Amino acid sequence: MKSMLVSAIVLYAGVTAFIESFKKILKLDTAEYNIFTLTILIAGIIVKFILGNYVKNKGKEVNSYSLVASGSDAFNDGLLSIVGLLLSLIILNQD
Protein backbone atom coordinates (compact mmCIF):
# COMPACT_ATOMS: atom_id res chain seq x y z
CA MET A 1 0.00 0.00 0.00
CA LYS A 2 2.87 2.37 0.83
CA SER A 3 4.49 1.75 -2.53
CA MET A 4 1.22 2.65 -4.28
CA LEU A 5 1.11 5.95 -2.38
CA VAL A 6 4.73 6.74 -3.25
CA SER A 7 4.06 5.83 -6.89
CA ALA A 8 1.05 8.15 -6.98
CA ILE A 9 3.07 11.02 -5.50
CA VAL A 10 5.91 10.50 -7.97
CA LEU A 11 3.46 10.25 -10.88
CA TYR A 12 1.70 13.44 -9.77
CA ALA A 13 5.03 15.28 -9.45
CA GLY A 14 6.11 14.09 -12.90
CA VAL A 15 2.88 15.07 -14.61
CA THR A 16 2.85 18.45 -12.86
CA ALA A 17 6.48 19.11 -13.84
CA PHE A 18 5.71 18.15 -17.44
CA ILE A 19 2.70 20.46 -17.64
CA GLU A 20 4.55 23.41 -16.08
CA SER A 21 7.57 22.86 -18.34
CA PHE A 22 5.36 22.70 -21.41
CA LYS A 23 3.64 25.95 -20.42
CA LYS A 24 7.00 27.68 -19.99
CA ILE A 25 8.23 26.42 -23.35
CA LEU A 26 5.19 27.89 -25.05
CA LYS A 27 5.36 31.16 -23.09
CA LEU A 28 9.16 31.68 -23.54
CA ASP A 29 9.80 33.66 -20.36
CA THR A 30 13.27 34.96 -19.64
CA ALA A 31 14.98 32.99 -16.90
CA GLU A 32 15.85 34.91 -13.75
CA TYR A 33 18.65 33.88 -11.41
CA ASN A 34 19.84 35.35 -8.15
CA ILE A 35 22.72 34.65 -5.77
CA PHE A 36 20.62 32.29 -3.63
CA THR A 37 19.67 30.18 -6.66
CA LEU A 38 23.25 29.99 -7.86
CA THR A 39 24.48 29.09 -4.36
CA ILE A 40 22.01 26.21 -4.16
CA LEU A 41 23.03 25.08 -7.66
CA ILE A 42 26.73 25.09 -6.73
CA ALA A 43 26.03 23.21 -3.48
CA GLY A 44 24.02 20.62 -5.44
CA ILE A 45 26.87 20.16 -7.91
CA ILE A 46 29.38 19.60 -5.11
CA VAL A 47 27.06 17.09 -3.40
CA LYS A 48 26.52 15.23 -6.70
CA PHE A 49 30.26 14.84 -7.23
CA ILE A 50 30.87 13.71 -3.65
CA LEU A 51 27.92 11.30 -3.75
CA GLY A 52 28.94 9.98 -7.17
CA ASN A 53 32.50 9.27 -6.08
CA TYR A 54 31.40 7.71 -2.79
CA VAL A 55 28.82 5.40 -4.34
CA LYS A 56 31.15 4.44 -7.19
CA ASN A 57 33.98 3.60 -4.77
CA LYS A 58 31.62 1.61 -2.52
CA GLY A 59 30.37 -0.24 -5.58
CA LYS A 60 33.91 -1.19 -6.52
CA GLU A 61 34.62 -2.17 -2.92
CA VAL A 62 31.67 -4.58 -2.72
CA ASN A 63 31.90 -5.56 -6.40
CA SER A 64 28.45 -4.21 -7.28
CA TYR A 65 28.03 -3.11 -10.88
CA SER A 66 24.74 -1.38 -10.09
CA LEU A 67 26.37 0.81 -7.43
CA VAL A 68 29.23 1.68 -9.79
CA ALA A 69 26.69 2.62 -12.46
CA SER A 70 24.67 4.67 -9.97
CA GLY A 71 27.81 6.50 -8.88
CA SER A 72 28.75 7.19 -12.47
CA ASP A 73 25.24 8.51 -13.11
CA ALA A 74 25.46 10.90 -10.15
CA PHE A 75 28.89 12.08 -11.33
CA ASN A 76 27.62 12.65 -14.87
CA ASP A 77 24.62 14.50 -13.46
CA GLY A 78 27.08 16.81 -11.73
CA LEU A 79 28.79 17.48 -15.05
CA LEU A 80 25.46 18.36 -16.65
CA SER A 81 24.68 20.64 -13.73
CA ILE A 82 27.93 22.50 -14.37
CA VAL A 83 26.67 23.21 -17.89
CA GLY A 84 23.45 24.56 -16.37
CA LEU A 85 25.48 26.74 -14.01
CA LEU A 86 27.57 28.11 -16.88
CA LEU A 87 24.44 28.92 -18.88
CA SER A 88 22.96 30.66 -15.84
CA LEU A 89 26.08 32.79 -15.48
CA ILE A 90 25.95 33.68 -19.17
CA ILE A 91 22.32 34.79 -18.80
CA LEU A 92 23.22 36.87 -15.72
CA ASN A 93 26.05 38.60 -17.59
CA GLN A 94 23.78 39.56 -20.50
CA ASP A 95 21.75 41.93 -18.33
How far are the Cα atoms of 6, 7, 15, 16, 24 from residue 12, in angstroms, in the given order? 10, 8, 5, 6, 18
pLDDT at 62 over 90: yes
Q: Please give the average per-residue pLDDT across 40-66, as a whole number.
A: 92
pLDDT value at position 2? 80
pLDDT value at position 95? 58
Share of the chain above pLDDT 70, in %: 96
Residue 53 confidence class, pLDDT cut points 50, 70, 90? very high
pLDDT at 92 over 80: no
How far does Cα 58 stand from its chain's mean position? 22
